[in-house]
Amino acid sequence: MFDGDFGNPASSSHVFGWEAEEHVENARVQLAELLHADPLEIVWTSGATESDNLALKGLADHYGAGHIVTSSYEHKAVLDTCKYLESKGFRVTYVVPDAAGLVQPSAVAAALEDDTFVVSVMHVNNEIGVVNDIGEIGRICRENQVFLHVDAAQSVGKVPLDVGAMNIDMLSISGHKIYGPKGIGALYVRRSGNIPLKAIIHGGGHERGMRSGTLATHQIVGIGVAASICSDELDREAPRLLQLRERLWSHLKQIPNVSLNGSETHRIPGLINVGFSGVDGEALLMALDDVAVSSGSACTSATVEPSYVLRAIGVEDSLAAASLRFTVGRFTTEEEIDFVGMRVADVVQTLRAQRDVAASI
């Protein structure tokens, strides 16, 4: 259906352009539906990293000076953008999440200053899977006339989202986190309320002037389809993933001295982050080379430092280094869960036994 479409969606003078534009606009409708947004509120970007940059730098550029509130366990796309803005003279408060890994709305309220122009808090943390109370944070922001940006790369398609009801002004989305293509994402930008967002990529004035450049038509079609599958599947998928996660946790918690990092209740269905005290994290990962788990997030795995996210929620460095992030997804089976549960129990037991032997020599 799509192979022959080579037109530029911005070329309005010929039929090839119209067809490409139709595909792009159809995808805009599909993604907007998942967020309960208006299609005109979707700005296509190259991914959530760019969306986070656009939201924060774009607003900062308008204000020129002032104060930003975020949290200390945001994705690097937000943290590094904030660091950059600090180097340009903006002030940033990094709210520390509580021991359950949640950014308390009251802590956000307490961090607001007279010249705070934006609050940026992630909906779901990518390493520990906890879900923040964005509705309440949104209410506080609206009441204080501060814009709210939400990095929702980990929540879109996994938990219900309603940008209007949650008073969200800008929201970052990533294609590959919803089973769509890599290199495509979007920033939801509320139309009402005159958000004075300035472009960070200048050019032909595409996307309401907020993001120039020829649209990645093929990827956009992909993210649109991915979004519509999420809309259709969310209600069925969430309980299924929850059941798989609980099955995994019931395996893992039989191992002595394991702990769940982050709230057990305020979490997305498909993710747990588990600490195995007394085990070397590197050795654990190496031994589990037949299981696709990770110690932190792919985004920061070039470093062997203990996870800054786990540090931020007060997990000790040694336990942080002995923690693994497990995700279950649309294609995970019960057999795989049982396999992983047994493999991890095995490996942890072996590593602990080796440690005890080494200690006794």
Ligand X SMILES: *Cc1c(COP(=O)(O)O)cnc(C)c1O
Q: By CB under 6 A, is residue 126 in contact with ligand X?
A: yes
Smallest distance, Å, CB 231 to ligand X? Answer: 20
Considering only residues 229 through 258, tell me which ones interact with ligand X, judged by CB under 6 A. none
Q: Which amino acid, one-letter code, is at 305?
A: E
C-alpha 33/C-alpha 25 separation (Å) is 12
Question: Given the DSSP bridges, would you call strands 323-327 and 271-276 parallel, antiparallel or unpaired?
Answer: antiparallel
Given the residues 82, 141, 230, 299, the one annotated as active site: 299
What are 44's strand-pairing partners?
A: 186
Place of tokens 């003279």: 89
Smallest distance, Å, CB 77 to ligand X? Answer: 5
Look up residue 29 and give its DSSP letter.
H
C-alpha 308/C-alpha 300 separation (Å) is 10
Q: By CB under 6 A, is residue 134 in contact with ligand X?
A: no
**Residue 10: which of 1, 20, 38 has the closest Cα?**
20
Residues contacting 361, CB < 8 A, separation 6+: none
For residue 176, the number of C-alpha atoms closer than 13 Å in the C-beta half-sphere is 9
C-alpha 160/C-alpha 134 separation (Å) is 12
Q: By CB under 6 A, is residue 49 in contact with ligand X?
A: yes
Q: Exposed, middle or buried: residue 173 (CB in 10 Å: 0-12, 13-18, 19+)?
A: buried
From the list 95-103, 146-154, 195-203, 340-348, the region that binds ligand X by CB under 6 A is: 146-154
Q: By CB under 6 A, is residue 77 in contact with ligand X?
A: yes
Choice between 7 and 185, CB closer to ligand X: 185
Q: By CB under 6 A, is residue 262 in contact with ligand X?
A: no
Q: Is 299 a catalytic residue?
A: yes
Q: By CB under 6 A, is residue 132 in contact with ligand X?
A: no
From the list 29-37, 47-55, 135-143, 277-285, the region that binds ligand X by CB under 6 A is: 47-55
Q: By CB under 6 A, is residue 151 in contact with ligand X?
A: yes
User: Are 326 and 272 spatial neighbours (Cβ–Cβ below 8 Å)?
Assistant: yes
From the list 44-52, 201-209, 301-309, 345-353, the region that binds ligand X by CB under 6 A is: 44-52
Tokens of 94: 């990094």
- Taking CB under 6 A as the criterion, the residue among 81, 167, 174, 217 binding ligand X is 174
Binding mask 181-220 for ligand X (x = CB under 6 A): ----x-----------------------------------
Active site residues: 299
Kindly list the residues in this chain that would bind ligand X in the complex (CB under 6 A): 47-49, 75, 77, 122, 126, 151, 153-154, 174, 177, 185
